[in-house]
Amino acid sequence: MTTFPNFRSPDVLLDHARHTMRFYHPRAIDPAGGMYHYFKDDGAVYDASHRHLVSSTRFVFTYAMAYRHFGDPAYREGLTHAVRFLRESHRAPDGDGYAWMLDGRTIEDGTQHAYGEAFVLLAYAHATMGGLEEARPWIAEAFELMEKRFWNAADGLYADEASQDWRELSTYRGQNANMHACEALLAAHAATGERRYIERAYTVAYNITQRQAERCGGLVWEHYDTNWQPDWTFNIDDPENLFRPWGYQPGHFTEWAKLLLQLEARGKDVLEHDLGWLLPTAEKLFKVAVEKGWDPEYGGLCYSLAPDLTVCDFHKYFWVQAESAAAAAMLAARTGNAEYWTWYDRLWEYSWTHFVDHQHGAWYRILDRENRKLSDEKSPAGKVDYHTMGAAYDIVAVLKGGARA
């Protein structure tokens, strides 16, 4: 019988976050600027020049959080290094956008993505909370860029994608960019105390998990047309698309559950809106995710559900398990219902057994249904274990009786 550590111990979780961080630091730091984004299982860098906005911003988060929790000055230096590259290389010289992908410092794909720019906002908020005071005015700068270029007041949501010069706005609308915008807005409020950020987070959360859900069987569908009507066939032939997969996403259900509880905790003494829908919605989304998404034969939460809520993609992704564990802990603490702790333990034991690389550190990215690795690429662009370390910090905050900022 496998003996597991006590996953309800803050020290165990912080040790795990520290172990994960050691996989990336200091090998991730490129002396020429920014961070390396592509790592094999053993930490070897397999692409030294390519840079993705999502990784660049998420490294800001991971270094800021590591510095806040562990106080190592090297993490503060890494944070400064990551922010500098974001400002000097991804950001347009006039500040009107951020390049999606770079080859070195040359723009490879200049498409403007609300998803990526939500992470820019998140990065500046966490850099500020990590003690990098110069980043504080950049929070407002990033918010105002999204306000100008992506926000649609009539829709009450953000558009998704535009050309590099902003002349063409895609007709696609998606919930994923809005979900991470909500996350970033909560961080911006934590960093600044400015009411406009949590007000906007509330609007986005309500419109996705209430209004849009009413159009999609009461759940959060991923893809919509320009009028925010569900597009049930978008990427149906590309179900493993990295940022826009087809199907309901159990991992996004649980991620939303986590965000709704954070919004409730942060907004209860600030917002004048009705907050009574937040907990029931979080519980509903979590319930569907685990009841429909859990693989009863091999364990783990599957990646995607078809519109009829049958599993359509049995792959297991690292982030789905991590975010779901964080949501389970939050729901357990919020409701006192021991069933959520049962799910919490189940998710951690599965992840500890199959996803965590106890030798080299960090989590494997993706497994097949039978929990076999698909490749030796542990951390391609976009991963950086932002989800796994972030979940650990979220859970630590719950265990200590607080709400993670």
How far, in Å, CA of 205 to CA of 400, rounded?
26
- Strand partners for 173: 224
Closest CA to 208 of 167, 263, 164: 263
How far, in Å, CA of 302 to CA of 387, rounded?
17
How far, in Å, CA of 144 to CA of 188, rounded?
12
Residues 162 and 100: beta-carbon distance below 8 Å = no
How far, in Å, CA of 352 to CA of 4, rounded?
8
Count Cβ atoms below 10 Å from residue 400 Cβ, excluding itself: 9
Closest CA to 296 of 191, 369, 208: 369
- Classify each residue of 119-134 as buried b or exposed e, where b means 16 or more C-beta atoms within 10 Å of its C-beta: bbbbbbbbbbbbebee
Closest CA to 297 of 186, 196, 371: 371
Active site residue 223: no
How far, in Å, CA of 280 to CA of 288, rounded?
12
How far, in Å, CA of 153 to CA of 297, rounded?
46
How far, in Å, CA of 29 to CA of 31, rounded?
6
Q: Tokens 């049962």 sit at which residue?
A: 342
Q: Which amino acid is at 138?
A: W
Catalytic residue among 81, 90, 126, 252: 252
Catalytic residue among 16, 81, 126, 387: 387
Helix ranges restricted to H, 215-317: 250-267, 278-293
Active site residue 387: yes
In whole angstroms, how far apart are CA 18 and each of 197, 344, 377?
30, 21, 21
Closest CA to 169 of 180, 179, 158, 177: 158
| Main-chain phi, psi angles of 368, to 5 degrees | -80, -175
Q: Tokens 């987070």 sit at which residue?
A: 201
Residues annotated as catalytic (active site), given as ranges: 252, 387
